[in-house]
Amino acid sequence: MTLTEVSSTDRLSTYDESMLSVTSPEPVPDPLRTLVVVPTFEEGANICRLLVGVRAAVPDADVLIVDDGSLDGTPELAEALAAQLGRISVLRRRGQRGLGPAYRAGFEVGLTEGFDFIVQMDADLSHDPADLPALVNSVSCGADLAIGSRYVTGGSTPGWPARRRLLSRAGGLYARTLLGLRVRDATSGYRAYRSDLLRTIGLESVTTDGFGFQIDMTDRARRAGAVIEETPIAFHDRTAGESKMSGGIVSEALLLVTQRALGRLSRRC
């Protein structure tokens, strides 16, 4: 007798009552989505190598290049490589330039598109794409902000002269002391955010740039009660292209820390 020849009565007789109760399976959550935001300006010498490295490190992540009007072919190279690697987009910005505004523009895209985690990194290869999985894993496991740190155990700044290392550490100590930050590398630009934290911070209220942007975001995360973790990285100096660092960017960061520290002091008095 085949299954189709069994009568309805016969079918029921082969099952006990408990088997007639069908429980719907638990819905499988969608996989968490990651967006890697990379601001660029005249990074044609580095962009292809960077994107190949990012795709190898985090194959399932999307990448957004936020370009500030490069004339050296940076956005065109990124778009050409996107056709081969997939899941790479280019946002060509107009108007105000600068690292902070570029990051905010990229973050806004990530929030609008519903990404769960948003990573920021430099395009000059000072940030090794191989460190991306560790940062993403940190926020996946509960951190609200994961910072790629040069100054925790395992972190390093290979090739830096002693004077530069001293100045960098002194600046970090200044920010930590005045702002009460329990972070060893508050100026690091290699970090991963949980999107909910960015919504809590409110990007529309952030107006800083450069080092100031990184310190500002770290302080805002602290004030929001975020879980902040640091992951060791090796920070390498760029080997191609020109540095975008300037005295104005450093001065802005120092001024931000001083003003915010004075504000904290006045609220206590």
In sign, the C-alpha dihedral spanning 167, 172, 177, 179 is: positive
Pairwise CA distance, residues 40 & 103, whole Å: 10
Q: Can you tell me the distance from the alpha carbon of 65 to that of 106, in angstroms, rounded to the nearest whole number?
A: 8
Could you tell me the two tokens for 57? 């490190």
Beta strands (DSSP E) in 59-183 are 62-67, 88-92, 117-120, 145-149
Look up the pTM and report it. 0.80
pLDDT tens by residue, the chain, 269 residues:
433 333 333 333 333 444 344 454 565 456 799 999 999 999 999 999 999 999 999 999 999 999 999 999 999 999 999 999 999 999 999 877 888 999 999 999 999 999 999 999 999 999 999 999 999 999 999 999 999 999 999 999 998 888 888 877 777 777 777 777 889 998 899 999 999 999 999 999 998 887 788 988 999 999 999 999 999 999 987 676 555 454 455 565 566 556 655 555 555 55
User: So what's the pLDDT on residue 252?
Assistant: 59
* 30-264 placed in CATH 3.90.550.10: yes
pLDDT reported for residue 177:
79
Say what the pLDDT of residue 49 is. Answer: 96
Domain extents in the chain: 30-264
Q: Assign 33 to helix, strand or coil.
A: coil
What is the pLDDT at residue 162? 84
169-186 burial string, b = 16+ CB within 10 Å, else e? Answer: eebbebbbebbebebbbb
